[in-house]
């Protein structure tokens, strides 16, 4: 039951806050309405019925004092002018059949009970025949006495005013609560948008400032300070890595020049291979440490980017096919272009090491862009698919260090995907090998 209730409850803060306000109001209304209906309404109706039946009983008693041949005009006028009751003396006969009791029979029950107590003669009542009247017939030996009274004389008919006021005030309170909650929740939503944009590497909204309640302003201010500290840290790290990269590349360039001056021998070729391997390892280490390198997010045409990657990866010597769904216009989304290109290139190069055929697909799904890289290689066991994203992790089977690489390609790709607010997942390809899927939000 608790799980079902949790599933049925709204997930948004605005809706939940409204329920917190509405639920006590509805509960209070139910309690007040029940108390009013059971106590006040019944008590008022009972008192009105008692007074009306006493008037009818008085007319009934006066009728008994009249002789058989007397005229009842004076009694009819008395009932009409003093008691506000329409009174008629009908010929003797049977009373009408009892009608079906109304669904809401408070008046019917109270009137029947009081007549049975006070008058003690056969009677018949009609509380539903006319909307604004109540008819009572009493059977006597010589005649049938017919009484018609206004419903307001027997029934608390103005009770709906109370209900209207109660519902009206509740609606006013609810409208005020909705306006107030909307103003209070808007700063929270803006803070969430700013945090989401910053987490995806996108610029924070220009007009974002701490607003709202004191706690919300404190959270927004803390977010701004955290964002500034992270930016400062990233800028410092990028500057440091740029200096390290420049110095190490200078040294490796000197190594290459010195090896070239030694001539073309078996030893120099081996040394040159080592220098080149060191160069690529240095690039991978710096790329992993640098992440996206502080690159700015820019609108990027996905088709053009994938076609550029396809041209660049032809050097691997493996057939690569690009499959894109037809669209009326090219898909443009905010990306750190070079970082995202590196992530997909890493996936393609990883597939080229182990497969003989590669297929790249791209499509949109549920607010995300999915780029799939399939190969026909040996694949990766399911229990190892998460481990390969760990830095420097190598498999001891099909995909091992014999194929080269620093063990950072997938780690770099996932780091870039997460920096865009997405992720990378590995699965089984329709070609029998590995499928790498990188997804980023639109």
| 403 vs 432, higher pLDDT | 432
Residue range 309-349, pLDDT digits in tens: 888 888 777 888 888 877 777 788 888 888 888 888 888 88
Task: Give me the pLDDT at residue 397, please.
Answer: 46
Asked if residues 348 and 360 have their Cβ atoms less than 8 Å apart, the reply is yes
First-to-last alpha carbon distance for the chain, in angstroms, is: 37
Neighbours of 88 (CB within 10 A): 14
Q: Any bridge partners for residue 90, and if so which?
A: 144
What is the 3 state secondary structure string of 292-316?
CCCCCCEEEEHHHHHHHHHHHHHHH
Task: Give me the pLDDT at residue 100, please.
Answer: 65
Q: Which residues of 317-347 are buried (b: 16+ CB within 10 A; e: fewer)?
A: ebebeeeeeeeeeebebbbbbebbbbbbbbb
Q: Which fold has domain 9-157?
A: Beta-Lactamase (3.30.450)
Residue range 372-423, pLDDT digits in tens: 888 888 888 888 888 888 776 766 544 444 445 556 778 888 888 887 878 8
| 203 vs 47, higher pLDDT | 47
Could you list the beta-strand ranges (E) of 187-340. 298-301, 320-324, 332-335
- Identical topology for domains 9-157 and 291-441: no
DSSP 3-state of 124: strand
Is residue 209 over pLDDT 70?
A: yes
Lowest-confidence range among 36-40, 265-269, 423-427, 432-436?
A: 36-40
Task: Give me the pLDDT at residue 292, please.
Answer: 56
Is residue 296 over pLDDT 50?
A: yes
Task: Give me the pLDDT at residue 289, please.
Answer: 60
Lowest-confidence range among 108-117, 219-228, 247-256, 377-386?
A: 247-256
- The CATH number assigned to the domain with range 291-441 reads 3.30.565.10
Instruction: Please state at what angle helix 42-65 crosses helix 73-81, rounded to 10 degrees.
Output: 160
Neighbours of 107 (CB within 10 A): 22
Query: pLDDT tier at 10 (50, 70, 90 boundaries)?
Result: low
Give the domain ranges of the chain: 9-157, 291-441
The pair of three-digit structure tokens given for residue 36, joined into one six-digit string: 């009013």
| 284 vs 320, higher pLDDT | 320
């Amino acid at each position: 039951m608790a799980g079902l209730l949790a599933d049925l409850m709204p997930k948004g803060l605005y809706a939940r806050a409204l329920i917190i306000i509405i639920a006590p109001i509805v509960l209070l209304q139910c309690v007040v309405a029940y108390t009013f209906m059971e106590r006040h309404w019944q008590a008022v109706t009972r008192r009105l019925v008692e007074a009306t039946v006493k008037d009818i009983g008085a007319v009934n008693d006066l009728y008994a004092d009249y002789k058989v041949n007397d005229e009842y005009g004076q009694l009819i006028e008395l009932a009409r002018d003093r008691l506000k009751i329409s009174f008629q003396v009908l010929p003797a006969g049977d009373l009408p059949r009892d009608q079906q009791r109304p669904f809401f029979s408070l008046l019917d029950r109270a009137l029947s009970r009081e007549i049975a107590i006070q008058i003690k003669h056969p009677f018949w009542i009609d509380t539903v025949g006319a909307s604004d009247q109540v008819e009572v017939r009493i059977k006597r030996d010589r005649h049938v006495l017919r009484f018609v009274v206004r419903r307001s004389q027997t029934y608390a008919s103005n009770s709906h005013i109370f209900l209207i006021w109660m519902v009206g005030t509740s609606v006013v309170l609810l409208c005020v609560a909705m306006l107030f909650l909307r103003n209070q929740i808007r700063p929270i939503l803006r803070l969430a948008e700013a945090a989401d944009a910053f987490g995806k590497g996108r610029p924070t909204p220009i007009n974002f400032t701490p607003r709202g309640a004191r706690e919300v302003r404190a959270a927004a201010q803390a977010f701004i300070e955290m964002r500034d500290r992270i930016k400062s840290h990233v800028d410092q790290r990028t500057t440091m890595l740029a200096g390290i990269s420049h110095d190490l590349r200078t040294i490796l360039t000197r190594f290459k020049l010195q090896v070239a001056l030694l001539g073309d021998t078996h030893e120099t070729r081996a040394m040159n291979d080592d220098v080149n391997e060191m160069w690529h390892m240095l690039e991978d280490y710096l790329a992993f440490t640098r992440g996206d390198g502080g690159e700015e997010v820019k609108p990027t045409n996905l088709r053009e980017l994938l076609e550029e990657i396809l041209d660049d990866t032809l050097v691997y010597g493996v057939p690569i096919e690009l499959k894109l769904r037809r669209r009326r216009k090219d898909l443009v989304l905010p990306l750190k272009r070079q970082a995202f290109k590196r992530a997909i290139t890493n996936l393609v190069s990883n597939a080229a090491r182990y497969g003989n055929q590669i297929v790249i697909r791209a499509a949109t799904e549920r607010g995300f862009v999915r780029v799939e890289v399939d190969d026909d290689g040996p694949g990766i066991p399911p229990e190892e698919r998460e481990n390969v994203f760990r830095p420097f992790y190598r498999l001891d089977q099909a995909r091992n260090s014999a194929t080269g690489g620093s063990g950072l390609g997938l780690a770099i790709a996932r780091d870039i995907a997460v920096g865009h607010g997405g992720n990378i997942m590995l699965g089984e390809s329709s070609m029998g090998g590995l499928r790498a899927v990188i997804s980023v939000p639109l």
